[in-house]
Structure 1
């Protein structure tokens, strides 16, 4: 009697990645945040100067409004209102620019994360790597630490190349 030999394929190798954690902890993300802060620091300082000016105008108005004529009060109120609108407009413009730049940097980081996942998947022969919308995964198939290590190594290499 002969027993047929089953040529079963090995079980699929699965991996899961927590992209949110990578975006939060990757050195590239921290560098991008720092870069954005520096990039928009002059605009933030300008806003702070305008806010101090507005505060001074409001305090001066509150202190002296009883001694002002109706025309002077109206002029001062108009000046305060115009400066308030100017600050709001500038704040809104800066926030819009910051959001655009943040999205650009996030897009670069997501592309790098996808590249890291692809390279790890190919080099370690994964059949399937999932991310986004994972309700639960065991640590056994979570490759987030490996991807984070890849990103950290890549960041150090880029930094070393830049410093040469």
Structure 2
């Protein structure tokens, strides 16, 4: 990509590498987004737990009372359990789909924050090139992940920062 002649004319190129996966996992913005999603979907999760407990209770009652029931009573109770099981599965799928949509929205926001932070650290530290995809090996000397993570933490701690979410 760079010829030896152009490097000799312009001086050394300052190159850095960032592990974006670490930033997407360990930054305070990522942790905040994750906690926000947990809180946002806690009601639905509790509802699913309640429905599951209800189905397990119905199943226990059916097993306990099976010998005292007529065949039609058994069939009715089995149908109730099956219907409840399908309702739980349908709600679980709906919640999972909504959670995935919201997770992708938050990830897109977070990726913008990460890119802005990398750009800011790169400019501040005078880097000519910062790479972050498809790196098989990098020396700790050029790894900027911790610097960018510190910068993101500083941004997160600033009041009224656009980068807090």
TM over 0.5: yes
Aligned residue in 1 for 2:4: none
- Aligned CA distance change for structure 1 residues 101 and 158 (closer, same or farther; 3 Å): farther
- Superposed, which structure 2 residues align to 1:71-150 within 5 Å? 71-150=72-151
Deviation of 1:151 (Å): 0.4
List gaps (5 residues or longer) in structure 2.
Answer: 1-7
Moved over 2 A (4+): 158-161
Q: Which has the larger radius of gyration?
A: 1
1:131 and 1:160 mapped to 2: Cα distance?
Answer: 25
Aligned residue in 2 for 1:31: 32
List gaps (5 residues or longer) in structure 1.
Answer: 1-6
Deviation of 1:125 (Å): 1.9
Aligned residue in 2 for 1:22: 23
Q: RMSD of the TM alignment (CA)?
A: 1.5
2:113 and 2:151 mapped to 1: Cα distance?
Answer: 10
> TM-score, normalised on structure 2?
0.90
Deviation of 1:159 (Å): 6.1
2:88 and 2:22 mapped to 1: Cα distance?
Answer: 35
Moved more, 85-94 or 121-130: 121-130
Q: Give CA deviations for 1:89-134 in whole Å, capped at 9, x if unaligned.
A: 1011111111111111111111000011111222222111000110
Is the CA contact (8 Å cut-off) linking 2:155 and 2:161 kept in structure 1?
no
2:39 and 2:129 mapped to 1: Cα distance?
Answer: 40
